[in-house]
Amino acid sequence: MQEIVKRSLGKTDIEVTPIGLGAMEFAGGMGFFKFMLGPVEPETQDEVVKVALDSGMNLIDTAEIYGFGYSERAVARGLQNAGIPPGDVVITTKWFPLLKRAKSLRKSSAKSTERLAPYPIDLYLVHMPRSVSSINSQMNEMADLVETGKIRAVGVSNFSKDQMVKAHEALADRGIPLAANQVQFSLVKRGIEFNGILETAKELEVTIMAYTPLGQGVLTGKLHSNPELLDVMPRMRRNRLRGNLKKTRTLVDSLEAIAVEHEATVAQITLSWTTTFHGDTVIAIPGASKTYQAEQNAGAMQISLSSEQKEVISAVSLEIR
């Protein structure tokens, strides 16, 4: 396996692999997530974490809302069972701001720190722009957490271009960079390329963390080959995906053809494109509920698509917008 070149997370000194492990699947099938994701047994969660790291990833993303803390605990348990010491992996988690004031960041971060112990929070993100406090207030609370050593870096998630700029400016007043904006981005969700988010992130040197980079499974090709797999999925996810299969057929055919050239999977070609088409700006955090998925996702970092292949994929993708 060739050495994986890490990237700086924004303008921080935190270095991450282009692909990390998204731990939303570790929500335990609880709360809202039971309508989207099935439960993953603890033993499998542990195996997924170990395989992800053994395969080259050094980044795991979770959030307090994923199973009401269950995912954070699962990540910590998996790392401990894998014998990973604190500091050898980058942990990102998120504050859920809905109907909360910025000052609640202190208590929420402390609870997340407790659930993730002994692993510290490297990157702490505002999960969405839905706090009752201003962005300036939120970023000042975040800056306090950085200055007191509670977290290493600050990020946001689902922020628009203007909201991201406000967060960047508020943190800059405290001498702290905005490290990342975690948003939906994939070959079937390319909105950030047209609404100013991606362009502004490049200008500000903010890393884009792409969630659902595989389009909830549509961009793996498995559902096109075996549409009956939809029947065992939670209803909300099943209904979302069924309508996407027909319109993405041409795209998946193109991905399959390129996958054959690289002796790779469709998912790996998809992830390679996602993390390289825009240089080093975009990293991806696909989820995994099975060990082969984690290993496959990590393997995408070993693939080098040609400029021509990237442009072909992009062109076919844009045709289905």
> What confidence score (pLDDT) does residue 228 get?
53
Closest CA to 199 of 257, 297, 121, 278: 278
> What confidence score (pLDDT) does residue 133 get?
98
> What confidence score (pLDDT) does residue 238 get?
55
> What confidence score (pLDDT) does residue 246 get?
74
| Element (DSSP H or E) covering residue 155 | strand 151-157
- pLDDT for 129 beyond 90: yes
Q: Specify if 292 maps to a domain.
A: yes
What percent of the chain clears pLDDT 70, i.e. is strictly above it?
A: 89
**DSSP of 78-131:** HHHHTTPPTTSSEEEEEE--TT--TTHHHHHHHHHHHHHTTSPEEEEEE-SS--
Mean pLDDT, the chain, as a whole number? Answer: 93
Q: Specify if 255 maps to a domain.
A: no
Q: Specify if 63 maps to a domain.
A: yes
- pLDDT for 115 beyond 60: yes
> What confidence score (pLDDT) does residue 249 get?
87
Closest CA to 140 of 171, 163, 96, 165: 171
> What confidence score (pLDDT) does residue 163 get?
98
Residues 259 and 242: their CA atoms lie apart, in Å, by 23
> What's the one-letter identity of residue 44?
T
> What confidence score (pLDDT) does residue 241 get?
61
CATH code for position 82? 3.20.20.100
Q: CA 8, 317, 315: angle at the middle one, nearest 5?
A: 90
Residue 168, token pair as written in the block: 């960047």
Q: Specify if 59 maps to a domain.
A: yes
Residues 306 and 303: their CA atoms lie apart, in Å, by 10
Q: Specify if 189 maps to a domain.
A: yes
The one-character DSSP state at 75 is H
Closest CA to 285 of 208, 222, 219, 223: 208
2-58 tens-digit pLDDT: 789 999 999 999 999 999 999 999 997 776 666 667 789 999 999 999 999 999 999
Q: Specify if 224 maps to a domain.
A: no
Residues 68 and 63: their CA atoms lie apart, in Å, by 9
171-214 tens-digit pLDDT: 999 999 999 999 999 999 999 999 999 999 999 999 999 999 99
- pLDDT for 141 beyond 90: yes
Residues in the chain, overall count: 321
Q: Specify if 180 maps to a domain.
A: yes
Residues 309 and 321: their CA atoms lie apart, in Å, by 19
Looking at the DSSP assignment, which residues form a beta bridge with residue 90?
59
Residues 258 and 267: their CA atoms lie apart, in Å, by 11
* Number of independent structural domains in the chain: 1
Residue 158, token pair as written in the block: 């689902």
Are 302 and 264 contacting, i.e. CB atoms less than 8 angstroms apart? no
Q: Specify if 232 maps to a domain.
A: no
pTM: 0.94
Residue 252, token pair as written in the block: 């998946």
Q: Which residue has the higher pLDDT, 268 or 228?
A: 268
> What confidence score (pLDDT) does residue 1 get?
67
> What confidence score (pLDDT) does residue 316 get?
97
Could you tell me the residue range of the domain that residue 187 belongs to? Answer: 7-215+271-304
| Per-residue pLDDT band at 248 (split at 50, 70, 90) | confident
> What's the one-letter identity of residue 150?
K
- pLDDT for 260 beyond 70: yes
- pLDDT for 229 beyond 80: no
